[in-house]
Structure 1
Amino acid sequence: MTAIIPPPRPATGLLPVQRLTRVEDGERLHSLLWRAGDGWRVISSAVLGGGIGERSWVLNAQVSHGYQRTDPDRYLTDLARDAGAPGPGVGLMTAADVRAYGHAYDGGVDAVATAGLGVRGWAASPAEGTAMAVRPGTINIVVALPVALTDAALVNAVATATEAKVQALVGAGYDCSGTPTDAVCVAARSPRPGDEVHAFAGPRSLWGARVARAVHQAVCAAARPVT
């Protein structure tokens, strides 16, 4: 497994992403890497680095449609190591071509989204759930805020980002709320002495409204409208 790291893209806002390319079993696959550095608290539903904690990078890796490994955390850790991303981070996976990502900025909030919509549906379904994730499809959303949030506000921001994702999908003509394996990652600044720590991130709060608009625009850009 070889990672090829081209020059970084020009920085835009808080989320300058770097495109990576690797070859696995003869297939060219791509990833997006955000080298956040120190000073970030992240909440994520990711298979690697999920939960709430200090994180220094976020990797969104494309995998083969036939991906069958049962150790995704180790797989993503290896990819990050090969890309030169040390320390604790967040690892996301998708079968979508991440080069077609959407990127949006609103009032200091940055959002990046990739959209694989081959397997989609509504969250509330009569179908039985499974212990293992279904085959890769996946909408991955990464959001960065320039302010500190309480734990509760971080959770609120995940809900706000999810609502904005659904709004974007419905607006694009998709009859769904997402895919069975969607993931969200919200990064906020680690609080420093004297900093204000914001307690709200709902869609009508100051920063939640910006999260919602940025995520909506990013998902709209990543998810091609139904024609």
Structure 2
Amino acid sequence: MGEERTSQAAPHGAGAVARPAMTLDYRQEDGQRLASLLWRFGPGWRMISSAVLGGGIGPREWVLNAQVASGYRRLDPADHLRALGPAGPGVGMMTVAYVDRYVRRGDGGVEAVATVGLRHPTWAAAPPDAADPVLEPGGEPVRPAGRPGRGGAAPVPGTINILVVVPVAMSDAALVNAVMTVTEAKTQALLETGYPGTGTASDAVCVAVPEHGPQEIFGGPRSTWGARIARAVHAAVLEGTRAWYRGPR
């Protein structure tokens, strides 16, 4: 099951925003039992996301992180996610990683939840003719040197999906900066574990902030809230990566 831990007390005033409840549910699809995490934020939240459903910047009321079957080939992922989520505007992410092995970490009022699957390491700046097993049918998975797969077999496919909830409003620029910070912290955690890449080709991120209130104008790793985002994401991805290497519980 997922892991949760929170470090540092939230600063004065940060608790004024009602935190969404996270629910874990299962469904039968493609002959498999698949997990989904759903956060119901309700009105009053603004999000930035790279997700196929609800991506961009704008008001959003829920976030869904849905596990799909390995070898997913549907050409309508946004419609699929919309059918799985509740009504209203929301963000939908998908992954073939085990969503019920989520890791949740907190820092100073910031909360980060990561689902981690690492079958295919990807360097962001790869040569144009580099073979990519994610895109080539039948390609062999690349295993980090000295790292065993699950039970000695090839690791299962996966994606790193990250949701970050921040209890203060942010400007558009700060939101973009926060996504950069999330990505940098994720990559730092991966490199610390010896993972030979900056992520996977299908990673997605979502940062949620209150729609109203004084806006923070910075989200970089040395800003107050950016530093908290970085520490929470780093801790979540670090533990998620270590758990992936350990294999099934």
TM bucket, shorter chain: 0.7 to 0.9
* Correspondences of 1:1-12 after superposition (within 5 Å): none
Alignment-mate amino acid for residue 59 of structure 1? L
> What is the aligned partner in structure 1 of residue 122 from structure 2?
121
> What is the aligned partner in structure 2 of residue 143 from structure 1?
164
Task: Point out the structure with max Rg over C-alpha.
Answer: 2
Distance apart, 1:26 and its partner CA: 2.0
Distance apart, 1:86 and its partner CA: 1.9
> What is the aligned partner in structure 2 of residue 23 from structure 1?
28
> What is the aligned partner in structure 2 of residue 186 from structure 1?
207
> What is the aligned partner in structure 2 of residue 200 from structure 1?
218
> What is the aligned partner in structure 2 of residue 88 from structure 1?
89
Do the aligned partners of 2:170 and 2:217 also contact (CA within 8 Å) in 1? yes
> What is the aligned partner in structure 2 of residue 48 from structure 1?
53
Number of residue pairs matched by the alignment? 208
Alignment-mate amino acid for residue 137 of structure 1? G
Runs of 4+ in structure 1 over 3 Å off: 12-16, 133-136
| Structure 2 segments unaligned to the other structure (5+ residues) | 7-14, 137-156
Query: Structure 2-normalised TM-score?
Result: 0.79
Distance apart, 1:15 and its partner CA: 5.4
> Is 1:155–2:155 an aligned residue pair?
no
Match of residue 71, structure 2, among 62, 66, 72:
66
Match of residue 40, structure 2, among 17, 35, 44:
35
Cα deviation code 1:142-181 (max 9, x no counterpart): 0010000000000000000000000111112211100001
| Structure 1 segments unaligned to the other structure (5+ residues) | 1-9
SS of the residue corresponding to residue 118 of structure 1 reads coil
> What is the aligned partner in structure 2 of residue 109 from structure 1?
110
Q: Distance in 2 between matches of 1:219 and 1:15?
A: 21
> What is the aligned partner in structure 2 of residue 222 from structure 1?
240
Q: Distance in 2 between matches of 1:46 and 1:26?
A: 25
Distance apart, 1:224 and its partner CA: 1.9
Do the aligned partners of 1:134 and 1:180 also contact (CA within 8 Å) in 2? no
Do the aligned partners of 1:59 and 1:92 also contact (CA within 8 Å) in 2? yes
Do the aligned partners of 2:182 and 2:233 also contact (CA within 8 Å) in 1? yes
Q: Distance in 2 between matches of 1:51 and 1:36?
A: 17
Distance apart, 1:128 and its partner CA: 5.0
> What is the aligned partner in structure 1 of residue 140 from structure 2?
none
Instruction: State percent identity of aligned pairs.
Output: 58
> Is 1:213–2:218 an aligned residue pair?
no
Q: Distance in 2 between matches of 1:25 and 1:157?
A: 36
Distance apart, 1:25 and its partner CA: 2.7
Do the aligned partners of 1:15 and 1:110 also contact (CA within 8 Å) in 2? no
SS of the residue corresponding to residue 180 of structure 2 reads helix
Alignment-mate amino acid for residue 53 of structure 2? L
